[in-house]
Amino acid sequence: MSHIYAINGFFMAMREKYTKESASIHYFTVEWCPTKSSWADFRGKILGATDPATAEVGAVRRTVLDKYEELGLTSQPNVGDNGVHASASPFEALAERLNWLGAKLEDDAFGAAMLAAGIPKDTIMAWTKDPQVEFEGEKGSLFDLLEDLNVDDCLAKAQKIAGVTGDIGACANMAFVFIKPHAVTPKVVELVKAKFEEVGFTIAKEGSINGATIEKDMLVDNHYYAIANKASLSKPNELNPPAKALAEFESKWGLTWAQALEDGLV
């Protein structure tokens, strides 16, 4: 065998769930005061763990799992099809509103707050692609660095990463949440809305986006850019594998990544 082809089947299979003719998402933009709930509790306790089987009883994902037939789902939820998606941080929520809703940076409350904090527009837009950034002597994912921070802490840390100063004004936590295609039923929509009302969150906007639009505008590709970029957009010589991955590649195939690129093997 002279060539081995590795295909990221995970991303393409996931993408199909969003772009097929019958697919849609139902979204919410929600706001709340950080004193009502931390961002970590919003994700971990209100919506529930990524694996719905380990989510707390009463969390949205656990309820969707426990009552999936009653709620109109055709299959049992799992780690991938876990009912709902929610932003991992105020910054990711901004990136998602820009992508899914076509929001303008200057008109978005958190986007305006970032600009007021001294972070340049070009930097903010580049960050929406989750680049590797330098922080405290180490390089890491921008999204990971800001994950689960409340709005003020997120702005302050973003300033440090960007190396800028500026005013940090009062701002609410604002997240983007959507019901995944496998779980879009009237009863799940009502379940999510009732949960937000129960915990005192405000639904600022609500709507649906169909599969044809998701396909045409490449919304899911942009949403999962870090995965899509490596799976279907970037060429091998445009990738920047971390040291651990480079070592694993060499151990597995008996040659370095650089040599494989030079020889045209990847």
Residue-wise pLDDT tens digits, 193-215: 999 999 999 999 999 999 999 99
The answer to whether 88 and 147 have CB atoms below 8 angstroms apart is yes
Q: Which two tokens stand for residue 241?
A: 């594998």
Would 245 be classed as within a structural domain? no
Would 190 be classed as within a structural domain? yes
Would 136 be classed as within a structural domain? yes
pTM of the model: 0.85
Q: What is the model's pLDDT at position 47?
A: 98
Would 193 be classed as within a structural domain? yes
Separation between Cα atoms, residue 205 and residue 20, nearest integer Å = 25
Residue 138 bridge partners (DSSP): 135
Would 28 be classed as within a structural domain? yes
What average pLDDT does the structure give for the chain? 92
Q: What is the model's pLDDT at position 138?
A: 86
Model confidence pLDDT, tens digit, residues 12-22: 888 999 999 99
What is the count of structural domains for the chain? 1
Q: Which two tokens stand for residue 242?
A: 């971390």
Helix (H) or strand (E) holding 86: strand 84-86
Q: Which domain holds residue 48?
A: 23-206
Would 42 be classed as within a structural domain? yes
CA-CA-CA-CA torsion for 147, 151, 157, 158, nearest 10 degrees?
90
Spatial CA neighbour of 77 closest among 62, 57, 59: 62
Would 45 be classed as within a structural domain? yes
Would 249 be classed as within a structural domain? no
